[in-house]
Chain A
Amino acid sequence: MNSIRIRHIAAVTRNFLLAAWALFALFPIFWMVLITFKSDIEVFSTTFIFSPTLANYHAVLFRTNYFKSFFDNIIVSTGAVLVSVAAGVPAAYALARYDFKKKEDLAFTILSFKFAPEILVILPLFMIYQKLGIFDTYFGLIWVYQLITMPLLVWVVRGYFEDISVEIEQAAKLDGYTWYEVFWRILLPLIKPGLVSSALLAFIFAWNNFTFPLLLTSFNVETVTVASLKYIASDTVHYGQMAVAASVAALPEVVLALIIQKHLVRGLSFGAVKG
């Protein structure tokens, strides 16, 4: 009887604590979405009960260049991921399958990009980009985004290659496939789910970055993360519009996060945790 009661109390406490954390984690998102439907006056005067309006969406999406920022973000993030996949997947294969001099040093150098202070990279790049004339261009941003996307792809995909037993490869080679065919026709299909989800996670990280586009681009290229900050700097603050800018920028990531769930742990830990 007593132990049943203790177990009951424990379960109630556990659910209560979890609910409290869920409230803390989700309420800000809920509240932000709520504000997007409020007029400028109602942002001040109301809490939960108000007359919803789509005016903020109309203002942000059609009367500012928010759409342009949105597409800029898509272009640089997609470009960065594609470059990383094209260069990183073969590299991941080489790191998984071959033994060569300085292999681990190389792998760790690539990983160290992840831990390099962003400002340390930006300062010299700012100067180099000005000299090369690629400041404020898609190319420049895609280049620096390799810091974010490349280590993730190389390390996670390397793990997926290592999971495939060498015997499958050898069997294929015995069947007369060339190295190139083995890679394209046998290995790539096997790692496809892992590859796609790590590419999507890399996309999210690139999409979320703020420091690089803030300092390495100005008028030509502007990502939504940088554009969203403008709403707070303007003199007449339209909180509803700011919330729209934030919500629309966050939407793709939440959708992508749901898609890649199964592989999320592995991606987040750069392959160290095989969830």
Chain B
Amino acid sequence: MENSTEKPTAAQKRAGAAESELIAKATRIPWLVKARPYLIMAPCLLITIGILYPFVSAIFYSLTNYSFRNPTWKFIGIENWVYMFTDVEFWHAVFVTLQYAAITTGAEMLLGIGIALLLSKNNAFTKILKVVLIFPLMIAPVIATLIWQLMTNTSVGIFEKFLNIFGVYGFTWAASAKTALFTAALIDIWVYAPFVIVLVSAGIQSLPKSPFEAARVDGGSAWFTFKTLTLPMLKPFIYIALIFRLMASLQEFTIIFALTKGGPGNTLMNLSITGYNYGFAFLKFGQSLSYVLILWVIINFISRKLVGKYLLTQRQAAGKEK
């Protein structure tokens, strides 16, 4: 900007030249101007295709009896799909998937929003907390699971010693079907609740001051202010956190795999783990794909609904501002 004011004549000359040159170019080869964004995007598009191809091939191979064991395979139509829908384990896996996602996402949202609200007062304590509370989110989930496995280990774990104080001995954690889901969910919450905290905290920081001052002058109760002002204004942030968490927890693989590989028994076998088992344990490649493709359908269905709702809240927020 400053440069152009210092030597206006030279700049103007150059500008004129550049512009006429541009126009000349555009009229000479208009397709090049049209193609430019695609050309700029070409490397990215290439990689995109490189990732989309396996996905499309997954649909194809789910219609075959391809197996890692024998090299010959043939097209078998919807046989894999029929098998899956009549498989009791499949419906169990769907149930576990939804249950795990509902429990972890629900708890993470409630805790995350709660902690973010508690953090909204700015002082030295909350400032430090906002920095250190993201550490669990940055540590690899598999490493986090390892830490928790150590802590819940009945022979060396700190939790056993801690529970002994209260007279509880041999709490089973991930080892029993009754407590495995609780343990996995606890680890998931430990890792991902900070994600919600960070997003909602950012939302709280961005809230305008004046409506809240007005509410205070009018003598609105804290609950009333929260319900009618804070929560609606935080809605877009909450939706973003919810979408990201729900999509990820529906396909959670790492924490469950590192903790129990889906066990004990089939307690934690969600669709990701079941698909993995069919592919890599039973080597039935074609069959395994139907399990993960249905997972993709579920995720896609839910995400579309939620993204639609999110865009609606954004439009509403924009409308209110006008």
- Give A contacts to B, CB under 8 Å: 14-15, 17-18, 21-22, 24-26, 28-29, 31-32, 35, 43-44, 47, 83, 86-88, 90-91, 93-95, 98, 100, 103, 106, 109-110, 112-121, 123-128, 143-144, 146-147, 150, 154, 168, 171, 173-177, 204, 207-211, 215, 225, 228-229, 231-232, 239, 242-243, 246, 249-250, 253-254, 256-258, 261, 264-265, 268-269, 272-273, 275
Per a CB cutoff under 8 Å, which of A83, A261, A265 touches B131?
A261
Complexed CA–CA distance, A272 and B257 (Å): 31
Name B119's closest neighbour in chain A (CB-CB): A18
Q: Is B125 an interface residue when CB atoms closer than 8 A count as contact? A: yes
Shortest C-beta distance, B199 to chain A (Å), equals: 6
Shortest C-beta distance, A117 to chain B (Å), equals: 4
Inside 8 A of A28's CB, which chain B residues have their CB?
136, 144, 147-148, 151, 190
**Segment from B155-163, B207-215, B223-231 that makes contact with A:** B155-163
Name B203's closest neighbour in chain A (CB-CB): A273
Q: Are A257 and B135 in contact (CB under 8 A)?
A: yes
Q: Are A228 and B143 in contact (CB under 8 A)?
A: yes
Name A251's closest neighbour in chain B (CB-CB): B139
- 5 A-B pairs besides A18-B118, A117-B272, A269-B240 with CB distance below 8 A are A106-B41, A146-B47, A208-B138, A250-B138, A250-B139
**Segment from B76-84, B101-109, B295-303 that makes contact with A:** B295-303
Per a CB cutoff under 8 Å, which of A17, A29, A88, A117 touches B251?
A117
Per a CB cutoff under 8 Å, which of B36, B131, B292 touches A119?
B292
Per a CB cutoff under 8 Å, which of A116, A118, A176, A269 touches B199?
A269
Q: Is B58 an interface residue when CB atoms closer than 8 A count as contact? A: yes
Per a CB cutoff under 8 Å, which of B111, B134, B161, B257 touches A257?
B134
The CB with the most chain A CB atoms within 10 A, among B125, B140, B141, B303, is that of B140
Which 7 residue pairs spanning A and B have beta carbons closest together? A176-B14, A91-B44, A87-B43, A174-B15, A208-B140, A98-B37, A275-B202
Residues of B in contact, count (CB < 8 Å): 104
Complexed CA–CA distance, A273 and B32 (Å): 35
Q: Is B262 an interface residue when CB atoms closer than 8 A count as contact? A: no
Q: Are A44 and B141 in contact (CB under 8 A)?
A: no
Given known contacts A118-B272, A123-B275, A123-B292, A204 and B138 CB-to-CB distance under 8 angstroms: yes
Complexed CA–CA distance, A121 and B253 (Å): 13
Shortest C-beta distance, A256 to chain B (Å), equals: 7
Q: Are B58 and A87 in contact (CB under 8 A)?
A: no
Q: Are A91 and B135 in contact (CB under 8 A)?
A: no
Complexed CA–CA distance, A115 and B260 (Å): 24
Inside 8 A of B45's CB, which chain A residues have their CB?
91, 106
Q: Is B61 an interface residue when CB atoms closer than 8 A count as contact? A: yes
Complexed CA–CA distance, A275 and B68 (Å): 48
Q: Is B319 an interface residue when CB atoms closer than 8 A count as contact? A: no
Given known contacts A109-B52, A116-B296, A120-B295, A29 and B139 CB-to-CB distance under 8 angstroms: yes
Q: Is B179 an interface residue when CB atoms closer than 8 A count as contact? A: no
27 contacts between A and B (CB under 8 A): A18-B126, A21-B118, A29-B139, A31-B147, A94-B38, A98-B36, A115-B299, A117-B251, A119-B251, A119-B253, A120-B295, A124-B55, A126-B279, A208-B142, A209-B140, A210-B257, A211-B254, A215-B280, A225-B142, A228-B146, A246-B147, A253-B139, A264-B198, A265-B202, A268-B198, A269-B241, A269-B244
Complexed CA–CA distance, A232 and B52 (Å): 35
Per a CB cutoff under 8 Å, which of A15, A87, A174 touches B19?
A174
Q: Are B44 and A26 in contact (CB under 8 A)?
A: no
Inside 8 A of A147's CB, which chain B residues have their CB?
51
Q: Are A94 and B40 in contact (CB under 8 A)?
A: yes
Per a CB cutoff under 8 Å, which of A47, A215, A229, A268 touches B142?
A229
Interface of B is mostly: helix
Bits for B255-270, please: 1 = Cβ < 8 Å to A, else 0. Answer: 0011000000000000
Complexed CA–CA distance, A88 and B57 (Å): 25
The CB with the most chain A CB atoms within 10 A, among B119, B202, B247, is that of B202
Name B298's closest neighbour in chain A (CB-CB): A117
Q: Is B150 an interface residue when CB atoms closer than 8 A count as contact? A: yes
Q: Are B139 and A211 in contact (CB under 8 A)?
A: no
Inside 8 A of B133's CB, which chain A residues have their CB?
21-22, 25-26
Complexed CA–CA distance, A246 and B47 (Å): 32
Shortest C-beta distance, B226 to chain A (Å), equals: 13
Given known contacts A31-B151, A119-B272, A229 and B47 CB-to-CB distance under 8 angstroms: no
Complexed CA–CA distance, A211 and B251 (Å): 12
The A-contacting residues of B in range 88-110, CB under 8 angstroms, are none
Inside 8 A of A254's CB, which chain B residues have their CB?
135, 138-139
Complexed CA–CA distance, A157 and B134 (Å): 22
Q: Are A256 and B161 in contact (CB under 8 A)?
A: no
Inside 8 A of A242's CB, which chain B residues have their CB?
146, 150
Q: Is B11 an interface residue when CB atoms closer than 8 A count as contact? A: yes
Q: Are A18 and B41 in contact (CB under 8 A)?
A: no
Given known contacts A176-B11, A250-B139, A123 and B47 CB-to-CB distance under 8 angstroms: no
Shortest C-beta distance, B7 to chain A (Å), equals: 10
Complexed CA–CA distance, A36 and B76 (Å): 54
Bits for B144-174, please: 1 = Cβ < 8 Å to A, else 0. Answer: 1011111101011010010000000000000
Q: Is B288 an interface residue when CB atoms closer than 8 A count as contact? A: yes
Q: Is B23 an interface residue when CB atoms closer than 8 A count as contact? A: no
Q: Are A115 and B303 in contact (CB under 8 A)?
A: yes
